[in-house]
Amino acid sequence: METKELLKKVRKVEIKTKRLSNNIFGGEYHSTFKGRGMTFSEVRGYEFGDDVRSIDWNVTARYNAPFVKVFEEERELTLMLMVDISGSKFFGTDNDLKKNIATEISATLAFSAIQNNDKVGLILFTDNVEMYIPPAKGRTHILRIIRELIEFKPKSKRTDISAALEFFSNVTSKKSIAFLLSDFISKDYQKALSIASKKHDLTGIRIYDKFEEEIPNLGLIPMIDQETDKVEFIDTGSKDVRKNFKINSLKMRDEFESTFKRNGSGTINCRTDQSYVKLLLGYFKNRG
């Protein structure tokens, strides 16, 4: 991709997602993800309704009038984005590619984080960790993250979610807010998820296309596995084929939800033709 075209795409994503974070998500993000604790700020005169436990007895005795301690939330947190960039992210039929939705969601979360003075880091993964950007602050840093989400070319097309989770657990020592964005067409990540969720505030965002849940009757058609490039002819005219396809896809969705729930982690199911804005906002409000 040429530099001019890339900058244009980055700017387009920035304008859309920054507006969302400023107008909608900034406050919700702040109220949903709390700081590490409270830090002393100042003392002020006692007012009716103040908790008597907050009285500063030393200052009160000195001035012969009641004073209370004022504390502020120790706000700074770290947001880590783990984004699946395997071959299946290039699928999309109705509204947009899964890759583009993942980019916009990631950018919205990132701008919401820096608006609250939090650091943001990025892990791009396939069946290996393809890129790691350590957490940092600032608009320039977020624009770099968006740029990599748009143009990065992975070496592999396959998926291994556990590899990303294990890397995240190893490089992140302090408790972080983490969002894992994938279609979750992957198995055997339960152990790595269990380890990561014990320490971090983890949310899985499953991004999928409607035709990945229910295949239409198109007759005999070739289907390409975007992660292996394997071509297989499927008779979509068969009711049994369509039924089994739907059963398997719903089973995969249920496995995703139950695995995260079992480990105390949140989930969001986002279809490419749905509004991720409403889904994120609803998730924040339910958690806040």
Give the chain's count of helices (H) and strands (E): 9, 10
Identify the pLDDT of residue 40.
55
Q: Residue 128: which pLDDT band, with cuts at 50, 70 and 90?
A: very high
Identify the pLDDT of residue 285.
82
- pLDDT, mean of residues 212-241: 84
C-alpha atoms less than 13 angstroms from C-alpha of 97 in its C-beta half-sphere:
11
Q: What is the CA radius of gyration of the chain?
A: 23
Domains in the chain, CATH or no CATH each: 3-31+76-287 (3.40.50.410), 37-74 (no CATH)
Q: Is the distance from CB of 199 to CB of 166 less than 8 angstroms?
A: no
Q: How far apart are CA 187 and CA 237, in angstroms?
A: 29
Q: Is the pLDDT of residue 227 over 90?
A: no
Identify the pLDDT of residue 235.
87
Identify the pLDDT of residue 254.
93
Q: Please report where in the chains the tokens 């949903």 appear, as a residue.
A: 32
Q: Is the pLDDT of residue 81 over 90?
A: yes
For residue 21, give the H/E element and its range.
none
Q: How far apart are CA 243 and CA 256, in angstroms?
A: 20
Q: Please report where in the chains the tokens 């608009």 appear, as a residue.
A: 139
Identify the pLDDT of residue 26.
59
17 or 153, higher pLDDT: 153
Q: Closest by alpha carbon to 229, among 97, 90, 123?
A: 90
Identify the pLDDT of residue 144.
95
- Condensed to tens digits (0 to 9), the pLDDT of residues 265-283 reads 999 999 998 889 889 888 8
Q: How far apart are CA 162 and CA 178, in angstroms?
A: 14
Query: What are the residues whose beta carbons fall under 8 Å from the beta carbon of 58, sequence distance 6 or more?
Result: none
Residue percentage of the chain with pLDDT more than 90: 43
Mean pLDDT of the chain: 86
Give the predicted TM-score (pTM) of the model. 0.80
Q: Closest by alpha carbon to 80, among 188, 174, 187, 206?
A: 174
- pLDDT, mean of residues 212-227: 83
248 or 70, higher pLDDT: 248
